[in-house]
Amino acid sequence: MKALITGGTGFVGSNIVEVFAHGHGADVLVPTHSFTPVDADYRHEPCDLTDAGAVAAMVQRFRPDVIVHTAILNDFARIYREREVSWNSYVGATRCLVEAANSVDAKMIFVSTDWVFDGTQSGAVETTPPNPVNLYGVMKMAGELVVSEGAADGAVARISGVNGIHRARPSVPRAQDRGFGYFVASIVDSLRAGTPFRVWESDDINMIATPSLATESAEMMWRIADLDRTGTFHCCGRDSVSRRGLALATCDAFGLDPDQLAFGPPDPDDAPGVPIPYDTSLDATATAAALDYELPSLSALLAKFRLEYER
């Protein structure tokens, strides 16, 4: 299979490259942007995804069987400051990729998020109507629509609270934020360094979610491509959990001392000043059935992450 993986030098995308290229032997091309990988054993070439002509030319040259689109302008403050640039980067780039995918009969998989939901839609299923509460969620929902309405062979793969190794840039700093991404790694990094960790708890942050492991989500995306599925999928773990529950489960899975955890609100100076969904838990039962995939329990997911982390 020939796979074009956008954002393949990013956190999630680098795990998709790992699973597609190394796990399944796909011929992978990654369009690069500001970062160029060193010693990569997959194809890569510079391409700004907001340049429609460059995207069309790259896709015509490579003629992928599948495009997995993860790339985003990942700067929460900047998307509010530079709205046109951001809209073009999220929605415009997705439209270019959909048109390019259609032109070569490729499947288009759009990687989306649990933040398309409003934080009250606990246990949202694949068909629950989204109701995003911030600009990031709005632009991701718009991307979902571009794919579901415009792609001749399209799929939306929502992921949530992603944990894992950044395989392209392992030294990227990992810190707790108002979502669940990097939460487990930031606890492990901190406690292993002997530094106590304060788990944020507050009504105005993401307090409940369904954690994913990036390699597991990537494996589910592989199945979407390989089994030739279309529609919306929840490519996450089986279990939903609070921040406190995930912190305690992390200590258990990694053999860390839970007494080194404290609990309290985030630093007010860090507040994003925009709404953050509170409970973004997802139900992935239908996805598991469609992909014939056993969703990992939280403890299985953390055990697998420990293996990846220590390898």
Ligand X SMILES: NC(=O)c1ccc[n+]([C@@H]2O[C@H](COP(=O)([O-])OP(=O)(O)OC[C@H]3O[C@@H](n4cnc5c(N)ncnc54)[C@H](OP(=O)(O)O)[C@@H]3O)[C@@H](O)[C@H]2O)c1
Could you list the residues that contact ligand X (CB under 6 A)? Answer: 6-7, 9-13, 31, 33-35, 48-50, 70-74, 89, 111, 113, 140, 159-162, 179, 181
| Residue 117 contacts residue 130 (beta carbons within 8 Å) | yes
CB neighbours (10 Å) of residue 85? 14
Cα separation of 126 and 50, whole Å? 29
Give min distance, CB of 168 to ligand X, in A: 7
By beta-carbon proximity to ligand X, the closer residue of 13 and 132 is 13
| Residue 304 contacts residue 215 (beta carbons within 8 Å) | yes
By beta-carbon proximity to ligand X, the closer residue of 46 and 196 is 46
CB-based burial, 249-267: b 16+ in 10 Å, e otherwise: bbbebbebeeeebeeeebe
By beta-carbon proximity to ligand X, the closer residue of 75 and 262 is 75
By beta-carbon proximity to ligand X, the closer residue of 122 and 260 is 122
By beta-carbon proximity to ligand X, the closer residue of 260 and 274 is 274
Closest CB to ligand X: residue number? 10
Give min distance, CB of 71 to ligand X, in A: 3
Cα separation of 31 and 55, whole Å? 9
Give min distance, CB of 194 to ligand X, in A: 26
- With CA atoms as reference, report the closest residue to 243 among 277, 284, 202: 202
HSE-CB of 169 using CA atoms within 13 angstroms:
14
Give min distance, CB of 166 to ligand X, in A: 7
Give min distance, CB of 149 to ligand X, in A: 18
